[in-house]
Amino acid sequence: MALRLGTREFGEREPVIMAIVNRTPDSFYDQGATFTDEPALERVALAVAEGAAIIDIGGVKAGPGAEVSAEEEIRRTAAFVGEVRRRHPDVVISVDTWRHEVGEAVCAAGADMLNDAWGGVDPRLAEVAARHGVGLVCTHAGGAQPRTRPHRVGYEDVMADILRVTCGLAERAVDLGVRRDAIMIDPGHDFGKNTRHSLEATRRLPEMVTTGWPVLVSLSNKDFVGETLDRPVKERLIGTLATTAVSAWLGAQVYRVHEVAETRQVLEMVASIAGHRPPAVARRGLA
């Protein structure tokens, strides 16, 4: 099934890069580097130039921190969405939010999809997606509340729970009127999971792929990579790219990332090994 978002259509085997743009002063990775407008707009332009098809804009950091009201989240995201839409009319604009009020505001401003990273904790967000005709990411968060860290979380079978939740959210979204070809499912690495859960979710990605829903993975510099390799946030690129390559081989389609250019090379290499993409050039052994 092709994935249709905004004005773009992506084939079944076409890898899609979603670039992260944090509109927060306290993001875990860039510590607020794109909180103000001009650096954020520069980040968007660079990400698009490097090959990102989707820009994912977030107004609240995922982890614990200062309280951010819905009004403040809207202030950080909605006008920025409008400016990105004006400057980049063909890019797919996503907003990372769990709140329906924010969803309404950013869709009105020009967003093409809503990235619900907290597993439908606000059921009205899917209703907003249906009403505005935009895409939706359905994520497994293990029942965790927004901005909380997992604590002694356990599953009898983590992938069985991921499939139950994400496919259930996706089917509910279809029933509400969200287009089937605008829905993605996300295993939710780190969300409501410890490192072993996230590693298992990665190696069992084919079980998600066989559902027919496009699979989105958000792997970039996450804690499960850091714990697996015992590396701080700024030293997780190699682990992230290794996990990206494995995920691509196993069938994931959409990749939410900080480093666009590096991710693109990994995805192109995997696609060429798999036989889905020819080499960019062919010189050796031809003379």
The 10s digit of each residue's pLDDT in 104-149 is 999 999 999 999 999 999 999 999 999 999 999 999 999 999 999 9
Q: Is residue 70 scored above 90 in pLDDT?
A: yes
In a domain, 284, yes or no: no
Other CB atoms closer than 10 Å to residue 155's CB: what's the count?
15
Q: Where are the beta strands (DSSP E) in the chain?
A: 3-5, 8-10, 16-22, 54-58, 92-96, 113-116, 135-139, 183-186, 216-218, 254-257
State yes or no: is 193 an active-site residue: no
Between CA 276 and CA 253 the distance in angstroms is 13
* Whether 222 is catalytic: yes
Predicted confidence at residue 1, as pLDDT, reads 73
The confidence score (pLDDT) of residue 28 equals 76
Residue 280 lies in a domain: no
Residue 212 lies in a domain: yes
* CATH code, 209: 3.20.20.20
The reply to whether 187 falls in a domain is: yes
Q: What's residue 32's pLDDT? A: 81
Asked, for residue 285, whether it belongs to a domain, the answer is no
Q: Give the count of domains, the chain.
A: 1
Q: Please state, as a whole number, how many other Cβ atoms lie within 10 Å of the Cβ of residue 207.
A: 17
Residue located via tokens 């329906």: 100
Residue 72 placed within a domain:
yes
Mean pLDDT of 208-217: 98
**261 belongs to a structural domain:** yes
The average pLDDT across 89-99 equals 98
pLDDT value of residue 35: 87
CB crowding 20-44: b at 16 or more within 10 Å, else e: bbbbbeebeebeeebbeeeebbebb
d(CA 257, CA 251): 17
Mean pLDDT of the 150-178 span: 97
Q: Mean pLDDT, to the nearest integer, of 255-259?
A: 98
Which pLDDT belongs to residue 26?
Answer: 83
In the set 149, 256, 264, 284, the catalytic residue is: 256
pLDDT at position 190: 97
d(CA 172, CA 100): 16
Q: Name the band, by pLDDT with cuts 50, 70 and 90, for residue 29.
A: confident
Residue 212 has pLDDT above 80, yes or no: yes
- Residues 43, 19: Cα–Cα separation, whole Å: 9
pLDDT at 262: 98
Band the pLDDT of 154: cuts 50, 70, 90: very high
Q: What is residue 215's DSSP assignment?
A: B
* Mean per-residue pLDDT, 233-242: 97
Contact 246, 221 (CB under 8 A): no
User: How large is the average pLDDT for residues 181-193?
Assistant: 98
> Is 80 exceeded by the pLDDT of residue 43?
yes
Within a domain: 5: no
Q: Which member of 152, 222, 234, 236 is catalytic?
A: 222
Is the pLDDT confidence value at 31 over 80?
no
pLDDT at residue 204, rounded to an integer: 98
pLDDT of residue 108: 98
- pLDDT value at position 208? 98
* Count of other CB atoms within 10 angstroms of residue 92: 24
Mean pLDDT, the chain, rounded, equals: 96
Domain that holds residue 257: 12-274
